[in-house]
Amino acid sequence: MATLILRAPLAGWCAPPEEIPDAVFAQRMLGDGVAIDPTGNELHAPCDGEIISIAASRHAIALRHADGAEILMHVGIDTVGLAGEGFELLVRKGDRVRTGDLLLRFDLDVLARKAASLVTPIVVTNGDRFRITSTNINRPVAVGDALLTLEDQSVAADAAAPKGAPVVSESVVVNHAHGIHARPAALIARHAKGLPFELEARARGRGVDPRSAVALMSLGVKGGDEIVIVGFTPAAAAAVAELAGVVRGLEKLPAHKAASSAAPRASVSTDPANLRGVVASRGFAMGAAFYLHAAEIPVVEAGTGADRERAALERARAAVRERLGTLARSASHTAREILAAHLELLDDHELTGAAARAVSAGKSAAFAWRTSLRTSAAALRATGDPLLIERIDDLLDLERQVLVELGGVVAEASVEIPRGAILIATDLKPSQIIGLPAGALGGIALAAGGPTSHVAILAAVMGIPMLVAVGPALLSIDASATVILDADAGTLSPVRGVHELAAAQAELARRSAARARELAAAQRPCHMASGERIEVFANLAGSIADAQFALAQGAEGCGLLRTEFLFLDRATAPDEREQLACYEQVAAALGGKPLVIRTLDAGGDKPIPYLPLPAEENPALGLRGVRTSLWRPELLEVQLRAMLRAPAGQCRVLLPMITDVEEVRIVRGMLTKLANELGLPLPQLGVMIETPAAALLADQLAREVEFLSIGTNDLAQYTLAMDRGHAELAARIDGVHPAVLRMIAAVTAAARESGCPVAVCGGLASDPAAVPLLLGLGVTELSAVPASIPPIKALIGSLNLDACRSLAQAALALPSSVAVRALLAAQKPASEVHP
């Protein structure tokens, strides 16, 4: 194609982009084009092509011409907020249309009353390939009039895309519940960067470079969508299969949720004395309202020389990279995951490339960085996917951090927040909350934000009560007011008198006293009311902070140290010295209390970039856990050497995904050989019971090892033959299903004959309703999420073992997990269970 003439898709006054009342379009962040202030109510196709994208709220349609030009038509400004009101869609994604075909009708009256503006941008979104040579602006246009002339820049096109047509491809259905959002996109991008071929990821009518996490997110791929990985040479076949395997493995990635992400949004009050919002993290708090303002950082567009601006941007990114790395070393596991995603975005191929091109074109480093990130943010917003839109905060967070390093403004981190204050803001970024000392905030209330944002996830992990989407009325609360934040009921209000103040203080005192009693009692060894000793350990992800927090909650040791965190988010495997340093630090933080270290549990839901696993039809049934370690014994040997050198007598070794005795004997042989070579004693060895095979062979396994640990999450998955990542089945995968309980009963009965202790380290150990069942089935040790330890220990102290055994026997006879849950719900309160 030499040139392409785009026809006016709607009637009205045609103007240049500068007149669009929205910075994203006015500054051409999404691409160059024109704006039409409509006089009609119909949107038509500006050229022949395929509909490649339709916003969920029906306000925007993207079309691709056969020669590759992509045109976005965005009816009105801020019309996404109308949620489809006033729009009648007449085409579907994937439809092929001809010039002039009717695509959409819209109600001008509704838009005039409810939208920020009727002005409709018509944008060429791949301007790197197609240059606008003429426009028909500053005049009225009718549907079908010549609007834009595009010229195919063949040189740029050749540089921007792989040569030739796809030669090899593999399609994969994305079964991760949340689709390809930030963390899955970062994982795919990291893996793609290590492959020596040009590849493309295609979905929803578009293709992007899979080395860019931002580009992958912009596809808007949801759970159940299909994505196709393509290569452009026969030699790329293995790389295509490898990357497709990574995508397939996404279904096992945990889908982060805030404490109540499913909570419905209450109607938002405009009265600042009685506000409602969405619960992001439960709890109750009262404190002084404290506003955190983040003013827009001004930037200068013109640069002072490409070399100077390029060096300044690199220095700023390096400073942010170093700071994020430092934070990650002492952060919680959840915060480390979020920081890892930010580090990936900081070096994202598409973000840095767009910024570099802008600098080369004479722009300042600050302007180039902002434009690059906001263009990508606009692309995510255009998908209409709420989860992807919440990831925009991560981009804007990185934008601000780099601009701060470029000298734009003093970082908000230097602002002193009064201890116990209720932080009020329009929105928050992850960097503003990561690193806050424990107990620094009483609570958080945001006018905007969402319950699945990274800030919401962090607040839930840190135990900070939080409301989001409270609305603009929140910002009218007096900065000197004392406010009550009830993140159980979803309300926030200023204290309105001495009686309300006294009631809130009484509620805080009641909760504080109950929590203090639980914490105090949790510091003592745990016994049932009937006298039986039950050990309560913590599941840890590996940081010193995690271990210290677990001890403060009353953990009697670590029942499961997940070591895979050492192997993720890096280019090579950790060496023996690094692994040993981690184990020693956690052991020291535990103060001599037991430390159970699980060997690498990779594969399936935990793909590792430098450990490419063979393509598998069902990764959950393939190389997982100990199978992966035995497939790569050199990695296992390094890890076992580090474990042997860890504090003797304190550290124990746990093997994941065992299915038979032979696997145990092979690892035991390696462990014995290495111990003899190092002149060190053998640690206790245990196995995870996560498969029906291991449960049914528990009698044999109990004779081979010193302890058993039941992973109820996987045991439920494999016993019920239901994928943990399957959105439709997730609610049915319950560890209290009678079939799973019978597996647990079989394990404890077999282990009892050998005198082998049995622990539970899966999700049921942190479920108060399930704890009496587990104890009644014969479990003598629980390893739980640290925050749940105080109430779990308090519950155990109220239980009578005979009553628990009766309850367990009744549950074993029931037909379903629903029936078991009903039985548990009908039980007397814990305080009434003991005699």
**For residue 812, what pLDDT is reported?**
95
Q: Which of 383-387, 433-437, 438-442 has the lowest mean pLDDT?
A: 383-387
Q: With beta carbons less than 8 A apart as the criterion, state whether 772 and 532 touch.
A: no
Residue environment code for 81-96, b if the CB has 16+ CB neighbours within 10 A, otherwise e: ebeebbbebebeeebe
Instruction: Considering only residues 155 and 455, tell me which one the structure prediction assigns the higher pLDDT.
Output: 455
Helix (H) or strand (E) holding 149: strand 146-152
Structure tokens belonging to residue 763: 């999700």
**For residue 158, what pLDDT is reported?**
42
For domain 524-609+621-828, the CATH superfamily is Phosphoenolpyruvate-binding domains (3.20.20.60)
Task: Give me the chain's average pLDDT, please.
Answer: 81
How far apart (Å, rounded) are the C-alpha atoms in residues 321 and 349? 15
Instruction: Classify domain 306-408 by CATH architecture.
Output: Orthogonal Bundle (1.10)
Closest CA to 763 of 560, 563, 625: 560
How far apart (Å, rounded) are the C-alpha atoms in residues 603 and 615? 11
Residue environment code for 597-629, b if the CB has 16+ CB neighbours within 10 A, otherwise e: bbbbbbbbbbbbbebbbebbeebbebbbbbbbb
| 707 band by pLDDT with thresholds 50, 70 and 90 | very high
Mean pLDDT along residues 158-185 = 64
Fold of 275-294+413-504: Glucose Oxidase; domain 1 (3.50.30)
**For residue 45, what pLDDT is reported?**
95
Q: With beta carbons less than 8 A apart as the criterion, state whether 42 and 10 touch.
A: yes
Structure tokens belonging to residue 416: 């002193």
Q: Which of 175-184, 229-238, 261-270, 516-525 has the lowest mean pLDDT?
A: 261-270
Mean pLDDT along residues 95-115 = 89
Residue environment code for 329-345, b if the CB has 16+ CB neighbours within 10 A, otherwise e: eebbbbbbbbbbbbbbb
Q: State percent of the chain over pLDDT 90.
A: 29
pLDDT tens sequence across 73-87 = 999 987 877 878 899
Q: Note the Cα 348 to chain centre separation in Å.
A: 18
CATH number assigned to the domain covering 168-252: 3.30.1340.10
Structure tokens belonging to residue 355: 């910024």
Instruction: Considering only residues 275 and 684, tell me which one the structure prediction assigns the higher pLDDT.
Output: 684
Mean pLDDT along residues 235-245 = 80
How far apart (Å, rounded) are the C-alpha atoms in residues 202 and 184? 15
Mean pLDDT along residues 54-64 = 82
Using CA atoms, how far residue 565 sits from 345, 583, 782, in Å, is: 19, 12, 22
pLDDT tens sequence across 724-782 = 655 455 557 788 999 999 999 999 999 999 999 999 997 789 888 899 999 999 999 99
How far apart (Å, rounded) are the C-alpha atoms in residues 227 and 213? 15
- Pick among 3.40.50.970, 3.20.20.70, 2.60.40.10, 2.70.70.10: CATH of 3-159: 2.70.70.10
Q: State percent of the chain over pLDDT 70.
A: 82
Whether 454 is catalytic: yes
Instruction: Considering only residues 458 and 678, tell me which one the structure prediction assigns the higher pLDDT.
Output: 678
Which residue spans of the chain are classified as CATH 3.30.1340.10? 168-252
**For residue 814, what pLDDT is reported?**
94
Asked if residue 613 has pLDDT above 80, the reply is no
Q: With beta carbons less than 8 A apart as the criterion, state whether 171 and 226 touch.
A: yes
**For residue 668, what pLDDT is reported?**
95
Structure tokens belonging to residue 725: 């990542």
pLDDT tens sequence across 399-430 = 888 888 888 555 444 456 777 888 888 777 77
Structure tokens belonging to residue 788: 């749940």
Mean pLDDT along residues 330-358 = 75
Using CA atoms, how far residue 377 sits from 351, 374, 408, 474, 702, in Å, is: 11, 5, 21, 25, 54
Q: With beta carbons less than 8 A apart as the criterion, state whether 241 and 191 touch.
A: no
**For residue 437, what pLDDT is reported?**
61
| 461 band by pLDDT with thresholds 50, 70 and 90 | low
Q: With beta carbons less than 8 A apart as the criterion, state whether 230 and 171 touch.
A: no
What residues contact residue 707 under an 8 Å CB cut-off, 6+ apart? 652, 684, 686, 756, 757, 758, 759
Q: Which of 415-419, 432-436, 586-590, 638-642 has the lowest mean pLDDT?
A: 432-436
Instruction: Considering only residues 606 and 808, tell me which one the structure prediction assigns the higher pLDDT.
Output: 808
Mean pLDDT along residues 564-582 = 81
Q: Which of 249-263, 300-314, 647-661, 745-759 has the lowest mean pLDDT?
A: 249-263
Q: Which of 150-154, 434-438, 661-665, 725-729 has the lowest mean pLDDT?
A: 725-729
User: How does DSSP assign 86-105, residue by residue?
Assistant: TEEE---TT-EE-TT-EEEE
Instruction: Considering only residues 506 and 329, tell me which one the structure prediction assigns the higher pLDDT.
Output: 506
Mean pLDDT along residues 592-602 = 91
Asked if residue 433 has pLDDT above 80, the reply is no
Q: How many Cβ atoms sit within 10 Å of the Cβ of residue 326?
A: 12
| 267 band by pLDDT with thresholds 50, 70 and 90 | very low
Q: Which of 323-332, 644-653, 794-803 has the lowest mean pLDDT?
A: 323-332
Cβ-based burial of 301 (10 A; exposed 0-12, middle 13-18, buried ≥19): middle
Helix (H) or strand (E) holding 546: helix 544-552
**For residue 438, what pLDDT is reported?**
55
Q: Are strands 146-152 and 3-7 parallel, antiparallel or unpaired?
A: antiparallel
**For residue 186, what pLDDT is reported?**
67
User: In 427-581, where do the E strands start and end?
Assistant: 441-446, 466-468, 482-486, 491-494, 535-540, 558-562
Beta bridge partners of 229: 170, 201
**For residue 643, what pLDDT is reported?**
95
Which residue spans of the chain are classified as CATH 3.20.20.60? 524-609+621-828
- From the list 14, 47, 526, 761, the catalytic residue is 761
| 382 band by pLDDT with thresholds 50, 70 and 90 | low
Instruction: Considering only residues 489 and 588, tell me which one the structure prediction assigns the higher pLDDT.
Output: 588
Q: With beta carbons less than 8 A apart as the criterion, state whether 751 and 696 touch.
A: no
**For residue 282, what pLDDT is reported?**
75
Asked if residue 259 has pLDDT above 60, the reply is no
Instruction: Considering only residues 187 and 34, tell me which one the structure prediction assigns the higher pLDDT.
Output: 34
Which residue spans of the chain are classified as CATH 2.70.70.10? 3-159
Provide the sign of the torsion angle of the four alpha carbons 79, 83, 89, 95, taken in this order: positive
Give this prediction's pTM: 0.52
- From the list 74, 256, 342, 454, the catalytic residue is 454
Q: Which of 383-397, 520-534, 556-570 has the lowest mean pLDDT?
A: 383-397
Which residue spans of the chain are classified as CATH 1.10.274.10? 306-408
How far apart (Å, rounded) are the C-alpha atoms in residues 611 and 829? 49
Highest average pLDDT, of 113-122, 660-669, 779-788, comes from 660-669
**For residue 597, what pLDDT is reported?**
95
Estimate the share of the chain in helix, then strand, then coil, as percent rounded to the nearest 5. Answer: 40, 20, 40
Asked if residue 258 has pLDDT above 50, the reply is no
Give the SS3 label for residue 7: strand
Highest average pLDDT, of 390-394, 615-619, 711-715, comes from 711-715
Helix (H) or strand (E) holding 499: helix 498-522
Residues shown for the chain:
835
Closest CA to 526 of 794, 763, 831: 794
Instruction: Considering only residues 549 and 29, tell me which one the structure prediction assigns the higher pLDDT.
Output: 549
Please give the span between the terminal C-alpha atoms of the chain, in angstroms, as a whole number.
86
Whether 761 is catalytic: yes
pLDDT tens sequence across 626-668 = 888 888 889 899 999 999 999 988 999 999 999 999 999 999 9
